[in-house]
């Protein structure tokens, strides 16, 4: 029996540094952000799906598609900070107490998101054995050719599935073995980039101390690690395709076109 509510929130920054305006880029005749929101809405067990943005253009479009949109400040440094700034409204949308509300942070640049991943997060949060964990996130086994790619975020996991750390470097380092053979000794895990926050934990985001590791790696989840907040991981089969470059945008168009 569910003891709380699940809200999916999509931070949508129009002024992306690597590909400005990408969330509104057309893919298959619809803006990328709409694809993401529609896929989130297909997931079972979700009380509400919202977009959070500092752009009036984005919010107007989101509302015209039939989704709620929350206005945020422009100065947010990450998607998590953007959601934290409106967490009270996200909790209201879910209709449960903060400690019983899971806020799932879905990236606005994942137009091929499988709704089953969102449903898996809902199931993980509802697992009576796990309880309402502070933060959960999906991981996937990395192909050997991606282990040393700095564009792929890796997760070092403990035996119980807890995330020890995240890095753009390959972890763990296998001593006395050529790097191209490391995959023969252990499984390397990639990070899907979707987070499930208990709302009361998300509400404390701004109070977390600055994280030198977060600044070095440019990975927002390291702020939680350094603050001692546990992140539980669960496995999925593959990553969600993300759009960060013009080439990836064209690839997303081709992939969605092939599926239509």
d(CA 235, CA 217): 23
Indicate the pTM of the whole model. Answer: 0.92
What CATH number matches the domain at 5-259, 3.90.550.10, 3.40.50.300, 3.30.360.10, 3.10.129.10? 3.90.550.10
DSSP 79-117: HHHHHHTTHHHHHHHHTS-GGGEEEEE--TT-TT--HHH
- What does the pLDDT profile of the chain (260 residues) look like in tens digits? 355 899 999 999 887 777 888 999 999 899 999 999 999 999 999 999 999 999 999 999 999 999 999 999 888 888 899 999 999 999 999 999 898 899 999 999 999 999 999 999 988 876 634 455 789 999 999 999 999 999 899 999 999 999 999 999 999 999 999 999 999 999 999 999 899 999 999 999 989 988 999 999 999 999 999 999 999 999 998 788 888 888 989 999 998 875 64
Q: Sign of the C-alpha dihedral, residues 44, 152, 146, 255? A: positive
Domain parsing of the chain, residue ranges: 5-259
Q: Are 113 and 193 contacting, i.e. CB atoms less than 8 angstroms apart?
A: no
The two tokens of residue 73 are 């400040």
Q: From residue 57, give the alpha-carbon distance in Å to each of 15, 19, 62.
A: 12, 17, 9
Q: Where are the alpha helices (DSSP H) in the chain?
A: 32-41, 56-64, 79-84, 87-94, 115-126, 199-202, 212-217, 222-226, 246-259
């Amino acid at each position: 029996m569910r003891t709380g509510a699940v809200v999916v929130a999509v931070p949508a920054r129009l002024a992306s540094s690597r590909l400005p305006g990408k969330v509104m880029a057309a893919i298959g005749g619809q803006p990328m952000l709409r694809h993401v929101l529609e896929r989130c809405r297909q997931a079972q067990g979700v009380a509400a799906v919202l977009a959070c943005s500092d752009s009036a253009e984005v919010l107007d479009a989101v509302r015209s598609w039939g989704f709620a949109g929350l206005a945020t400040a422009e100065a947010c440094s990450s998607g998590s900070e953007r959601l934290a700034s409106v967490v009270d409204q996200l909790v209201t949308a879910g209709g449960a107490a903060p400690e019983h509300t899971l806020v799932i942070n879905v990236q606005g640049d994942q137009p091929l998101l499988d709704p089953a991943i969102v449903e898996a997060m809902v199931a993980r949060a509802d697992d009576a054995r796990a309880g309402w964990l502070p933060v959960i996130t999906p991981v996937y086994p990395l192909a050997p050719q991606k282990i040393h790619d700095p564009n792929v975020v890796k997760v070092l996991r403990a035996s119980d599935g807890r995330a020890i750390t995240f890095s753009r470097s390959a972890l763990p380092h296998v001593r006395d073995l050529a790097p191209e053979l490391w995959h023969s000794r252990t499984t390397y895990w990639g990070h899907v980039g979707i987070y499930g926050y208990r709302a009361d934990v998300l509400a404390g985001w701004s109070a977390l101390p600055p994280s030198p590791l977060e600044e070095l790696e440019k990975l927002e989840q390291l702020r939680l690690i350094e603050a001692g907040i546990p992140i539980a991981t669960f496995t999925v089969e593959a990553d969600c395709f993300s759009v960060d470059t013009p080439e990836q945008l064209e690839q997303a168009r081709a992939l969605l076109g092939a599926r239509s």
